[in-house]
Structure 1
Amino acid sequence: MNIFLDYLLLLSIALYSYLEAFIKLFIPLKRKSVSGDIVLITGSGHGMGQLTAYEFAKRQSILVLWDINKNGVTETAEECRRLGATAHIYVVDCSKRLDIYNAAEKVKREIGEVDILINNAGVVFGTEFLQLQDHQIEKTFEVNILAHFWTTKSFLPAMIKKNRGHIVTVASIAGHVGICYLVDYCASKFGAVGFHECLTEELNAMGYDGIKTSCLCPVFVNTGFVQNPKTRLWPVLAPEDVVKCLMDGILTNKKMIIVPSSVKHHLLFQKFLPERVLNKLTKMQEIQFSTQYRSATKKD
C-alpha cells in the first residue's frame, strides 16, 4: 500500500479511537462476571493482595491464595470464607522458581486451571544503591519480576487453549519514573511494566483476544512496606482506594491502571520537558519515606 494511504488510514483510526473514547465517557462500562472463576493471587497474606482477595470473594470467585506468611494467608482465607467464597491456601516463596512451579502443579491438580492470575507479591528494601546487599538485589528481582514469568508460564497454556483468561501485573508508578533510594525496586518495576506491555502485544499478535491483561501502577500506597511515605505533589493512597481502582480495571478489562489518573500528565511531561525542568519537578515532589534500612528524604 502507498505510504500516504497508510498514514491516512492511521489518522482515521486515531480519530475514530478518540471519538469512541469521548462517547464512552457518558456510557457506563460493562463489567464482566467473575463468579465461579478460579482467581490466584500471590502475596495475598496482607496489604493489597489481601484486600483484592476480599473483593473477589464478594463476587463469589474461587480463591487460590499464595503467600510466604502462613498466618497472614490463613487469615485472608478465613475472611474470604466468611464472605461466602471458597478459598484455598498455599505457602509459597515467590523468590524461588521451583517453589512456584511445584505449587502451580498442585493447584492445577487439586483445584483446576486458573482463570485470573494476579501477580501481586513484592518486596522493597529502600536504601542507597551502594548500600544494597547482593542478596537484596537478587530478592527484589526474583519476587518483583521473575516470579511473574514463572507463574505466567505455569498458567498461560491453559488460557491459550480456551482463549480465555486474565493476567494482572501489579507494578508501580516506580515502573515509569525513577525514585531515589529505590534503584533496585524501580528497575524491577520497570521490568514488570515491560513484561505486561510485551506480553499484551504478543498475545494480540498471536490472535488470543480472549486473554486480557491489566497492569496496576499506583503512586505511594500506605501498605506498610515503607513507613511514613510523603510527597508534595502526589497523594499517598489508602490501599482500599487502590484496590477499588484495580477491581474496576480488571472487571472492565482495562490494560493500564494508573492511580491516581492525574499522574498520567506527569508521565506525559517526561516525554517533552527539558531535563532541568524534570529535575526541578523531582525536587518539588519532596518524596520522603523510611524503611528498616534507612530514612529517605528528597528535598530541594
Structure 2
Amino acid sequence: MSATKRLVVFGGNGFLGSRICRAAVARDWDVTSVSRSGTPHWSSVTSSSSPPAWSHKVSWERGDIFRPAEWTSLLRGADYVVHSLGILLEADYKGVISGRESPIAGLARAFDRTKGAHAPANPLERVRRGEAPEPGVEPPASPAQLTYEMMNRDSAILLAKEAARAGVEAFGFVSAAAGAPVLPARYLSTKREAEAVVAREFPQMRGVFFRPPFMYDRSRKVTMAVAAAAAAGSVANRLTGGVLGGFLGAAVTKPLSADAVADAVVEALADGSVKGPVEVPQLEELATKAWRKTML
C-alpha cells in the first residue's frame, strides 16, 4: 500500500482552492490549506454557511504568502504544493464598496497601463541585484497596493522557490486559459511570466501550469449566467474557425465547472507524466479520468 500523499494548497479557502482541497481529501490525501484568513467563509464558496463534512479533514492554516517565515515549515514532507491565489482586478473593492473610492476611479486604477510596468519580470533578480533582502518580495502595506505582478507572478515564484527548497515533487500553478476584453492585458501576461520563471528556475521540480477557462458553480448563480454566455460564445468561435478567440479570449472559451477543474488539478498532480501547461481540453480529460476512478 502506497504512502499517503501530502498536499499544501495556498489559497485553499477560495472558490477553486477549496474544491481542490475537497478533491484531495476524497483521495485520502493529507491536506493543508494556507491563506491569510485560515478557515473559509463557507457562504462565499459554497451554497451553505455550514462547513461540509470533508472540510474537517483539512488543516486550515493562516499565513501571508509574502511572509515565508509564517509557512515554510508547512512545506516539510509535502509531495505537492498548489498556488491558487490571484486577483482579477487591481481596484480596491473594499474602498469602492464602502464609498472611499468611486467605481470609476477604482477601474481607472485597475486599467492603469503604467502600474507595475517597471517591476522586474523575475523577483528573484531583485535578490541577486541586492535590491531587497531574502526572499526578495516585500509584503504590501494594504490590499490597495496589490498588483498583478505581486499576486499573479511574484507570489507564485516565491512559493515555487520555497517548495523546491523543501524538496516538493510537483508544483501546481493555477494560471488562466486566456485574457478577456474586460481585463487588462497584464492579468494574463503576469501569469505567463510566472509559468516561464518557475519552469526555468526550478527544473528539478515538476511544474504543472493549469490554464482553466471561466469556472462556474451552482452555488454562485452569477457564474451560471456568465458560463452560459461563454458556452454560446465558444460555439460561435468554433463555427467561425476560431477568429473570435483572438480578441475575446476567455469570453469565447468553453467554461468548466470549478469542481471539474479541481478534480483535474488533483489528477494531474498524481500523474507524474503531466508537466507544463495544461490547457482546457486536457483539463477535461483529466477531470473525466478522475471521475471514472470514483466509479470503480
- TM score, norm. by length of structure 1: 0.58
Aligned-partner Cα distance in 1 for 2:271–2:283: 20
Q: Please point out which of 154, 165, 170 is paired with 1:166.
A: 170
Q: CA 1:107–1:258 in structure 2 vs 1: closer, same or farther (change >3 Å)?
A: same
Q: Please point out which of 96, 99, 114 is paired with 2:78.
A: 114
Please give the secondary structure, in 2, of the residue aligned with 1:246: helix
Aligned-partner Cα distance in 1 for 2:207–2:10: 16
Question: Would you say the 8 A contact 2:6–2:31 is kept in 1?
Answer: yes
Question: Would you say the 8 A contact 2:35–2:61 is kept in 1?
Answer: yes
Q: Please point out which of 51, 73, 93 is paired with 2:19.
A: 51
Question: Would you say the 8 A contact 2:148–2:186 is kept in 1?
Answer: no
Aligned-partner Cα distance in 2 for 1:57–1:105: 22
Q: Please point out which of 279, 288, 291 is paired with 1:258.
A: 279
Question: Would you say the 8 A contact 1:68–1:93 is kept in 2?
Answer: yes
Question: Would you say the 8 A contact 1:116–1:165 is kept in 2?
Answer: yes
The alignment of Structure 1 onto Structure 2 pairs a total of residues equal to 206
Q: CA 1:262–1:44 in structure 2 vs 1: closer, same or farther (change >3 Å)?
A: closer
Q: Between the two structures, name the one with larger relative contact order (CA 8 Å, sep ≥ 6).
A: 2
**Which of the two has greater helix per residue?**
1
Q: Which has the larger radius of gyration?
A: 1
TM-aligned CA deviation for residue 155 of structure 1: 2.3
Letter in 2 for 1:170: V
1:60-94, Cα deviation, whole Å (9 max, x unpaired): 22211112334417899874465xx4x32212344
Gaps of 5+ in 2: 43-48, 92-103, 116-142, 235-252, 285-296
| Aligned counterpart, 1:60 | 28
- TM score, norm. by length of structure 2: 0.58
1:213 matches 2:207: yes
1:80-120, Cα deviation, whole Å (9 max, x unpaired): 465xx4x32212344xx12xx12223425xxx333211001
Q: CA 1:139–1:57 in structure 2 vs 1: closer, same or farther (change >3 Å)?
A: same
1:245 matches 2:264: yes
Please give the secondary structure, in 2, of the residue aligned with 1:117: strand
Question: Would you say the 8 A contact 2:24–2:31 is kept in 1?
Answer: yes
Q: CA 1:188–1:114 in structure 2 vs 1: closer, same or farther (change >3 Å)?
A: farther
| Aligned counterpart, 1:190 | 189
Question: Would you say the 8 A contact 1:44–1:76 is kept in 2?
Answer: no
Letter in 1 for 2:180: I
CA RMSD, Structure 1 to Structure 2 (Å): 3.4
Q: CA 1:115–1:73 in structure 2 vs 1: closer, same or farther (change >3 Å)?
A: farther
1:241-269, Cα deviation, whole Å (9 max, x unpaired): 21222223222231221113599xxxxxx
Question: Would you say the 8 A contact 1:217–1:258 is kept in 2?
Answer: yes
Gaps of 5+ in 1: 1-32, 264-300
Q: CA 1:130–1:198 in structure 2 vs 1: closer, same or farther (change >3 Å)?
A: same
TM-aligned CA deviation for residue 42 of structure 1: 1.2
